[in-house]
Structure formats: C-alpha cells, structure tokens
Structure 1
Amino acid sequence: MANSPSASPEKLVFKTLRDQYLHFGLPVDDIDEKTDFSIHNLKDIHATLPYISQTFRPNFFSFVFVKNGSGKYTTDDLVFDTVPGTIYFTNPGHYKSYHWKQMEEVYLVTLSESFLKENVHPDVFEEFPFLLAETVQPRVLAEAEFAEFEQLYLQINKEYLAASPYRNRIIGNLFVVLLLKIKEYFWKDYNPIYEGNRSSQIVKTFKLSLEKHYRDLISHKVEHVFRVQDYADEQFLHPNYLSNVIKIKTGKPIGTWIAEKTIAEAKSLLQNSATSIKELAWMLGFTEATHFSNYFKKHTGTSPVLYRKQHLSSS
C-alpha cells in the first residue's frame, strides 16, 4: 500500500516522466527530454529498496514489464500485486502510486499521446482501443510467454540508447509489434465502452467520441469542430455536468483534452503528410492559418513550419 503523500495528490500532476522523477528526487540521466518517450530498467533508478512513492497523476502512458521483481501498485482506489511475469499499463489521468520491495529486471516504458500518433499509428486508438481502458488488470505470464515481450522491450531499449536519426521511427514500429502482442494475448475482443460505472462510461464515451471526431475532421467527413456542448449533446448531458465528470475522473479539464488532441493530430499531420499549413489549419477547424500557427506555438513553443523542418531534417 502506498504511503500518504506529503502534498495533495491534486498538485502532483506530471506532464513527463522527467518532471515526475525530478520532483521525487530520482535520477534523470537516462531520460531524453527531447522526445516524449522513455524506457529504462527501474533497478537503475531505485538504488534503495523498499521504495514507496507518493501519489501522483501522470499525463502519459506507462507500460511495466516485470521479469524479476515484487511489490504493489495502486491505480485510483485499486491495489494490485506485482510479481515476476507481470505486465501492466496505465493511461493518463489516474491517481497512481507504487511500492517496490525487490527488483532485478523491471522495465518501464512511458510515452505521450503525441508520440503514439506520430510514430506508432495515426489511428492508434482505433486499432488498439484497450489503450483507453479505465483500469487495466495486470496479467501474469508464463516464462516462455513473457520472453516474447522481453525480446521486444530489450530491442526497444537498445534503439532508445542508439544515436540513429531514425530512432523514433524504429521505436514506433517496434512498439506496434508490442501492442499487437498485448492485443493478441490479453485484449483481442476488448471494448472499453462496456467497462466501469456510469462516470467511467461517460469518460470513455467522450474519449472515443473525441478520437472519432478528429478522424472525421481529417478525412473531411465533417467540417464543424466540436465544442463542449457537442460532446455533451452526444451523451444527452448538460455541458457543465460533462465537464465536471471529465475533470474529476481524469484530473484534466475537458478543454485541455480537446487542446491536446488538436496538437497531437497537428503534429502527426506535420510529420506524416505534405499538407500545406493553410489546409492543415482548415482541417483542424481554424479559419485562418495564422490563428492555427499561434495556437500551435502557444502549446508547443515552436511554429508549425519550424516543427515540420525539424522533423524533415531528422528523417
């Protein structure tokens, strides 16, 4: 069981793993802050055991592969044992904490939605809907089955440490294989819309609607960009009620979800298409390219043109 945090959990919200480790006083030497992806053996991070974390809310996806280790981890109000052969993942917005009693080989992979969109699959949540799950039960695999995943995450780790200009693309393709293996073993027929209580269903319906709406925008099936009222209307809810549920359940305002989705799609289009900035802006619901450019720079710190040039120069 996790210890009581010294600060309010609401205040412990981390956009990146590096931010989280800096806050907890953990080493960050092996974390590349230039990419929204990281992988490492937790043994290299936690020199002193047992280790009990504070409660926090990450804004990134985490995948954990426990070849040899033991402890517990908490997601919201659910506590799970961690034993050799365990595989589990969590997605953004949930309260988390973990307690490691012993570890030899425990690999942690973290990545953002933007990295998934840019390097794994533009429609990643369509092909892998289990990534939207409210709470994912851990799985414990037999040694031979776990070895298939070990081969993949060790290869990903090798590529992460390499200096290849194609590093992110290679990692992205390897991660597709890893997700397909997870889907094959655990969630072949999984549909997150049927999981959880009423509030959980509202959140998952919103996430699926958000994903579908941006696919429809980009494929020119719709032109009108959804606002909070539109997402509320889809579920026959008052927009204030929907906003409150999303904020309480995920820790992020609904406007933040929409903004992050817009930026994730913009990054994917800038990297993976030759669409002009003007056309791209229109596809994402901006009436003027300058409005889109200002919006993109506000959220990323760089302009769409410079972002595309930087990607092309590293491809």
Structure 2
Amino acid sequence: MAAKIGRSVSEFNNELKLRGFNVWQLESDSNATKIYSRKDFYKICLTTGKSIIHYADRSFEAEGTVLFFGNPHVPYSWETLSTTYVGYTCLFSEDFLRLSERSESLQQSPFFKIGGTSILKITESQRLFLNTIFQKMMEEQQTDYTYKDDLIRNYIHLIIHEALKLQPSENFEQQKNALSRITSVFLELLERQFPVENSDRPLSLRTAQDYANSLAIHANYLNRAVKETTGRSTTTHITERIAREAKALLQHTDWNVAEIAYSLGFEYPTYFNNFFKKITGMNPTTFREALV
C-alpha cells in the first residue's frame, strides 16, 4: 500500500475515524483488508489479480478485475492467490455519506445488503473508467477544497450507479461444509461487536435471533450449525463473550455500572447486575472493588 508507507496503523485508523473516509491504491498488498476496524466502515474495492473472497456463507473465486462491496455488518475475508495484485480501496462510514431521509440505508442497497450482490466482474474499459474515479478521489482527499467531502460523496455515488448497470457475478459457491462456514461467520460477526468503545452505542446484536436475522438464515439452522460445530449453543457463545467484555469494561474504564449495562445492550442496570452475578457469582460493583 504505497499510499501509507511510513505511517503507522494507529495513525491511519485515527485519521479514518476522524474523517469517516479514506481511499488508497493497492500495490501487491494482500493484507489491506486487515488494518482497520471493519465494524464501522463500508468498503468498495476495485482489484485486479487472482483471489478467493469469502462473504457471509459464500465464496467467490476471482480472476481478473472485480468490484467488491463490503458491509461492516457482514463478515468477509480475502485470500490473495496471485503475486501481482493491484487496484484501489475506499472506506467510508454511513455518516460520511450522509444519506437523505428519502434515501435507502446502505444496508438495504443491492450491493451492501445481506444476500445481495457484493462482487461484480469488470471489463477492461470499465476498469479504466473506475480507475479514473478512484484516482480523482485520491487526489481530492489531499486538497484543501472546502467542499471536497461533497465531491468525494458524489464519486462514491457514481461508482454505485455504474455498478447498478452491471450484471452480478454468478461464480459464488456455497461452502462444502455449510454448517462449519455458518459457524465461522457467526463467530466473526460476534467478535466484530467488540471491543465496546463508546458507552452511548449499545450492542446491536444481543440474541441468537438477532444474529440469524443479520445472516438471513433461520435461527434454528444457526443454532444447529453452531452446536454441531463447537459443541456449545449460540446463546452460550453470546453470553460468554458479553461477560468477558463486561469484565474488561469494569477493569479498564471509569464508566459507571449503568453506562456499562447500556453499552452491552441491557435495558436496565438491574438486568445487567443479575446477568453478571449469575455468570461470576458477584455483582459488578463487588467485582470492580476486588480489582483494586
């Protein structure tokens, strides 16, 4: 990633969070998908090379140029197979795009929604045109132009509209071991909610049904997959992960118990107290005092 030589991952993430947007050029960088907090940002990639993209419970083997749309609420991973892998990536938050009230949520768009078309095959002429848009975004983010964010938003919308004209790729394959893949997706989606960094933003997924809805599958199917693969229920995994986060927040933050309860999705502190005591044998306040 030539655009970030000499910059630390921390500096990149701080800048990304502050601005809500970043775009850069890929140059034989297979680790580009792993350096930022994916739970906050949507992603559009234009890449040329050979790779396997795992998206939710499906996989796509890509050779040539593809346009990829990543949703922070849908687990995905990228395996680069070729030695030469080039293109562009842009990340943006939904707040940055500032959709009007009449616009649909990004999560409901045909590219970002679960079950939608996340990968498109791109011809050479389309690649050259899209390259130009990404290059313009890269140039614009370096300027002092007062309205550059508005201009960049227009470029993102232009990419989306160009994609709407294209046909979706049909080379998706269901994983041979569907139950194992669903379990892997669930566990990654669970982990993506952590760490909790803001007491004003509670967990959006709290129950097995929430995760099933997010993955567009039946809750019974999710439960069966997780149970057969790990030997433990979906609810057990969720409960244990929330309990670990509760302990970390009690130990490493100065948030009061009510703030921690809210951040973890509990409607009332009493519910959190009961939950925590059932798991640890002591209430949150006693646990925190014992750490001193």
- Structure 1-normalised TM-score? 0.45
Higher Rg of the two aligned structures: 2
- Structure 2-normalised TM-score? 0.48
